[in-house]
Amino acid sequence: MGLKLEHVSYLYGTDTELLVRALDDVNLEIPDGQFIGLIGHTGSGKSTLVQHLNGLLKPSEGTILFNGENIWAQDYSRKTLRSKVGLVFQYPEHQLFETDVLADVCYGPKNLGLEQGEIERRAKKALELVGFPEKFFGQSPFELSGGQKRRVAIAGVLAMEPDILVLDEPTAGLDPKGRDEILGQISHLQKETGISVVLVSHSMEDVANYVERIIVMNKGKVMFDDVPHRVFSHVKELEAVGLAAPQVTYILHQLKDNGFDVDPSATTIEEAKETILQAVRKNSK
């Protein structure tokens, strides 16, 4: 059933004259098994939104349901919720602290009160899902590369076997190769496990390449919520709120304006290649 937000608002400074509605009447559904991109400029409300998804923040107004249950009901266990809705913060490697990789990934399931055998099974499976080599399980996490640390941190959340994985800028600070490796692995594990993934990102290319649905936040409200092609067709509206479309979309719009019969709604390099080749074939006939 997933997560459902009904008329959710979050207010800062309620006792002052500087009242800010960080979220303003947000209605959203995050169903099972969907890969979602969440974008918005700084101050748009996206970070506040993700902290509501697993109960780190309580809405000032509205209701949040997980599998049909109100997560702020008096008898609801938010500890259980946080094992089912896993949130990975930006630069999660700063949270690594154990003596070796396997022990670090075991920390989450250990806190669930599981038996040692089950704890280790989950940890090893999670490390496998993020593509972390078994030969490094006994290594100190502080001796790893930035990309490897990021994988271990994500594995630590996956080891709790969440239904929804929320990733806040998981590729921040990584080089292009590391970014592609992390996002490729996240895409693979989403297909492999069938969990829902919410990817918060400033990179329009990353979002266009991997997600099947995009939520655009602006001034605490949901501005757009649709498939990538439709969202990125609103180029002018996105630019007006400090965002943009992927670079290939701009190139295709320019080609279209110059008389080439291309599809300007393409958002990935592969899609752009196909529509340009089709246009060339038509012109050569």
Mean pLDDT, rounded, for 198-210:
90
The DSSP result for 105-129, as a single string, is HHHHHHHTT--HHHHHHHHHHHHHH
**Per-residue pLDDT band at 40 (split at 50, 70, 90):** very high
Give the separation between CA 200 and CA 202, rounded to whole angstroms.
7
**Per-residue pLDDT band at 285 (split at 50, 70, 90):** low
The residues, ordered by sequence, that sit 6+ positions from 212 with a Cβ below 8 Å of its Cβ are 34, 35, 36, 227, 228
Give the separation between CA 147 and CA 182, rounded to whole angstroms.
7
pLDDT at 54 over 80: yes
Crossing angle for the helix pair 116-129 and 101-111, nearest 10 degrees? 120
pLDDT tens digit sequence for 143-168? 998 888 989 999 999 999 999 999 99
Q: Is residue 57 part of a domain?
A: no
Q: Is residue 127 part of a domain?
A: no
pLDDT tens digit sequence for 86-100? 998 888 778 888 999
The range of the structural domain enclosing residue 277 comes to: 246-285
Mean pLDDT, rounded, for 181-203:
91
Total domains in the chain come to: 1
Q: Is residue 256 part of a domain?
A: yes
Q: Is residue 260 part of a domain?
A: yes
Q: Which 3 state secondary structure label does DSSP give 246?
A: coil
To the nearest whole percent, how much of the chain has pLDDT over 90? 60
Give the separation between CA 95 and CA 136, rounded to whole angstroms.
19
Q: Which 3 state secondary structure label does DSSP give 229?
A: helix
Contact 93, 153 (CB under 8 A): yes
Strands 164-168 and 20-30: unpaired
Q: Which 3 state secondary structure label does DSSP give 233?
A: coil
Kind plus residue range of the DSSP H or E element containing 230: helix 228-232
Mean pLDDT, rounded, for 217-246:
93
pLDDT at 23 over 90: yes
CA distances from 7 to 24, 91, 161, 272 (A): 8, 31, 29, 38
Give the residue with greater pLDDT, 19 vs 51.
51
Residue 164 phi, psi dihedral angles, 5° rounding: -130, 130
pLDDT at 189 over 90: no
- Extract the runs of DSSP E, i.e. beta strands, from the chain: 3-12, 20-30, 35-39, 61-66, 69-70, 85-88, 164-168, 196-200, 213-218, 221-226
Q: Is residue 86 part of a domain?
A: no
Report pTM: 0.91
pLDDT at 202 over 90: no
Round the average pLDDT of the chain to a whole number and report it: 91
Give the separation between CA 187 and CA 199, rounded to whole angstroms.
10
Q: Is residue 262 part of a domain?
A: yes
So what's the pLDDT on residue 18? 78
Q: Is residue 26 part of a domain?
A: no
Mean pLDDT, rounded, for 46-50:
94
Q: Is residue 280 part of a domain?
A: yes
- 141 token code pair: 């996490």
Q: Which residues of 1-25 are buried (b: 16+ CB within 10 A; e: fewer)?
A: ebbbbbebbbeeeeeeeeeebbbbe
Give the separation between CA 103 and CA 84, rounded to whole angstroms.
21
So what's the pLDDT on residue 259? 87
